[in-house]
Each structure stands twice: as C-alpha cells, then as structure tokens.
Amino acid sequence: FPKATDYSFKAKLYDNHIGKSPNFQKPRPDKKRKYEAHFELVHYAGVVPYNIVGWLDKNKDPLNETVVACFQKSANKLLACLYENYVGSDSASDHKTGIKEKRKKAASFQTVSQVHKENLNKLMTNLRSTQ
C-alpha cells in the first residue's frame, strides 16, 4: 500500500468483505455517534463502528533496522534482493552519529500495541486506586 489513502483502504475493505463476511457491515446511521463511522465489525460483544480517518498512519509501524539487516544478509537470495536497497528511517549521514543516538530514536517510538498496553496499565492503576 505505498500510495494508499484511508479512503482507498476503505474501498479495498468494501470490495473484499461486503457481502462476503457476515462480520463486516456498512455502518448504520446513528445520530448519537460523535464521529462518522465508515464500517462496522460484529464482535462477540456487539456491533462496533470504526472510522478510517488516520487509520493507515496510526497503524504504520516501521521495520526494525536489525530485522532489515538480517534480511539483507539472508542466504535466501529473493529475501536479500527484496531488501538490498531498503531505505529506513535513518539516512546514511545519520548512521555515522553512533549507536547511542540510534537507540535513543528507537526507544522514543512506540508501536500501537505498546501504547495500548501503556494505556491499559494506566487504567488499571486508576481503577485500583479507587477501591
């Protein structure tokens, strides 16, 4: 999806799932909602509406540089070929700044799951303090 937009992603979802999966639905109008829903998923707890604005940006995690280096050195020629010209978040000039700077950068980035885990821990701390 290098040139994908949130709306092209929505179109792909609709093309691949509307009418094919009972758990994927077009959103039902609901005036109580604070935001526009673009699709709904049927979960065990009920129907959950989703908004796709910012979806791709929020769910884009960069490749780990160590993993890329491993792929580039792979004995599998196809895998090595796919990543031989990979340009990550670090440019060639940044590479000279040292390992400490790279570690600092890596530590500052949080994946979606890390943020979720952190928020869940904060919620649990808050709930425990109310007992």
Q: What is the mean pLDDT of the chain?
A: 81
82 touches 74 (CB < 8 A): no
Domain that holds residue 36: 6-58
The answer on 32 and 85 residing in a single domain is: no
The answer on 117 and 82 residing in a single domain is: yes
Distance CA 119, CA 123 (A): 6
Quote the percentage of the chain above a pLDDT of 70. Answer: 82
The answer on 45 and 94 residing in a single domain is: no
Q: Which residue has the tokens 């491993």?
A: 70
Q: What is the value of pTM for the model shown?
A: 0.51
Instruction: Report how many domains make up the chain.
Output: 2
Instruction: Name the domain boundary from 58, 76, 94.
Output: 58
HSE at residue 21, side-chain half, CA atoms within 13 A, is 15
The answer on 52 and 16 residing in a single domain is: yes
Classify residue 71: in a domain, yes or no. Answer: yes
80-103 tens-digit pLDDT: 898 888 877 554 444 444 455 555
Distance CA 110, CA 64 (A): 12
pLDDT higher at 94 or 58? 58
89 touches 108 (CB < 8 A): no
17-40 tens-digit pLDDT: 999 999 999 988 887 777 788 999
pLDDT higher at 51 or 34? 51
pLDDT higher at 64 or 20? 20
CA torsion sign for 68, 69, 70, 75 is: positive
DSSP letter, residue 54? T
pLDDT for 94: 46
Mean pLDDT for the stretch of residues 59-85: 88
The answer on 44 and 91 residing in a single domain is: no
